[in-house]
A and B are shown apart, each in its own frame.
Chain A
Amino acid sequence: MLAFLLRRLAVALSVVLTVSVIAFLLLHLSGDLATDLAGPEASPEQVAQVRAEYGLDQPLAVQYGHWLAGAVRFDFGQSFYFRESVASLVGDRIPITLKLGAIALGLALLFAIPLGALAAVKRGSWFDRATLAFCALGQAVPTFWLGLTLIIIFSVNLRWLPVSGNATWSHYVLPSVALGWYAIPAVMRLTRNGMLDVMASDYIRTARAKGLRPKTVIFKHALRNAVVPVVALAAVQFGFMLGGSIVVEAVFSMQGLGQLAWEAIGRKDFPVVQAIVMLLATIYILLTFLADILNAWLDPRIRVA
């Protein structure tokens, strides 16, 4: 197990490092940053001054070294636009996005797991077919459009929930539904397929043969095993949600990480964009790493492979 752990950790760390190189190069290889920053009316001297001030006159490798040395200490430099340290900007915004992602994932799991399991138990019934049809339809709905439609229905017509912002818990309801929506079909299908596999296995037949109540068989024996792969999927989906929150936050004007990223991109504020790309990638890698470990712990066969 330890060898497995160390190997996975080494891979995860090197992926983080590669992503950092890509994030850095992507934003530095295109165009002349100093000219953009100094503005269209700047004289060549002013451009040169800006270039020196931000260290943009140094070789790329040196700039990357500086940036990386800071990044491992959570120092991502100064924002070009906000005139504030990137770390504190990101630190202020990230709780909102994490909260949004957590609620969205919770809602999605709460909705998808029971329905997926029930669809498997009632395989071939109208309920099963309706669930599958809902999956197909659900996956076709664009997140941003769903968000706007929810606003029209629940905020404008019914006046139940606020249109935008992130002041109270009620501000999180519609954005979480919009963000969690896209994860529902994937979780539902995986739960359903897992349940179908498990229900066909010998130990379920044994449990039934022993005369256990169907409810006990389904919930205690089958669902617990069927849900194992869902844990890994949930980790991956959470990573996607943090990345996808950029769209939802834009629709609902929530001041989270996604909104910060969008503003920073619009203003060519590269230190901020780089830091957010790095942060999201690292969280994703960490989540998949944890999911790997969890799976290996639950299923010893994986450790050998």
Chain B
Amino acid sequence: MSELIVRGARKAYGATVALSRGDLHLKPGEVHVLIGSNGSGKSTLCKIVAGSVKPDAGEVLLDGKPVTIDGPRAARALGIGIFYQELSLAARRTVAENILLPAMPVKGGIFVDRTELEERTARIIAEFQDVAGEGFAADVTVDRLRADQRQLVEIMKALATDAPILIFDEPTSALDRAQVDRFFEILRRLKQEGRAMVFISHRMDEIFSIGDRVTVIRDGATVASSAIAETNADEVIRQMVGEREALSAESKPPVPAAAGEPMLSVANLNGAGFRDVSFTVGKGEILGFGGLHGQGQSSVLRAIFGALAHNAGTIEVHGKACAARSPAEAIRNGIAYVSGDRGRDGTLTGRPILENVTPIHFLRNRSHLARPGALATLADGPLKALKTKFQDIGQPVNSLSGGNQQKVVIARWLIDRPAILLLDDPTKGIDLAAKSDLFQLIRSLAAEGMGIALYSSEDAELLANADRILVFNSGVVTRELQGEDRTRYNLYHAAYEAA
């Protein structure tokens, strides 16, 4: 029997406070739901309990005794097992080996006990065998499994620890209905055995079907904890949003006079991670993509940009079909794309600022010769317009701060203006001043007649800047919010309801 209490846990990364006051009271024989929006601190709280993050302050009590959990090993010794949201499987090893990776059965001191390995894993795998689907077996390597099957392996890995306390950080995000049902059956059995479980999920129906208690975290602090039987979905969402902000529509930015003439029309677009997506972006409009992280928003933008394949549907720019098969093709058709993952998709690391600004200009002008002097003059305008801080246009781009690097990446799109600007979480990891500069620019670009699609993982940013918001849930647009409806409450409601 294990009772776990976390009081006043706090964790800051530099100036960013991930968790300011995390409280959790986990009792034996219960499934305890932890809920909160993107970046509210749920995962940080779990990681503190699992020993992979060291809290700056606060205490953890196990059966009434204060404990220090200074590593995953210590957590395991204390009887705490965890399912990680970021899958942590060894791709080239078999299902069986992965399941027992934390505690390989050993014989003779150094050799893996194959018989023991097979026997123990066979029992765990048998519980899921009929819902796991084709190609799932103990001796298959993990890299040959589908996403849902990998998630099952991760669940089995957590179950195999036999720990009295189990933490599941979004264990069901890739599972289908039958797999979730089977998982819940097992959770109910474990409950009977008196084990304590923390369960994180964004699906309201799941939360109310399996949970016994729910603890709500908002902006890094625990704000409410109640028995599932005594609350309902609306109340939980209200607690996540906060009473004050729940119902007020964000002050609407100056409405563009004519959000008419469609610049970008997408109809019934299908691809990996999204389906049946249709929308239009009007001239001068900022269309927001909202919802939980990774619900297909980014994939849709990348598909339009030609960086990701789509298998059905139409994309039209200015009424002209434009199914780009590569970014180069999309760019020639007047589409621009700014990724939030600068390091991967944006900066030419180690190269001068100038070379980071010029590639789009080269492509759109079909240039062959490069005159550094003339190019520097061209690049200077957009860099200045974005208030980019740098000493010399020849200095390496990675000598700048994150915000200024992103400004350099955006500047490359402004020498030859595109018709459509796709922003894929563009403010990730940049400072507040740079964010405000960016949104000022984006609004003025819209005013000049550009059509803009903006995905942001920060709800406040989206509500403050988008004229309309499409809410994505499991790859589908489930709701469109405009005018007075653009409230945080409505956004959460659409994002968290079962798709």
Does B associate with A? no
* Chain B residues near A (Cβ < 8 Å): none
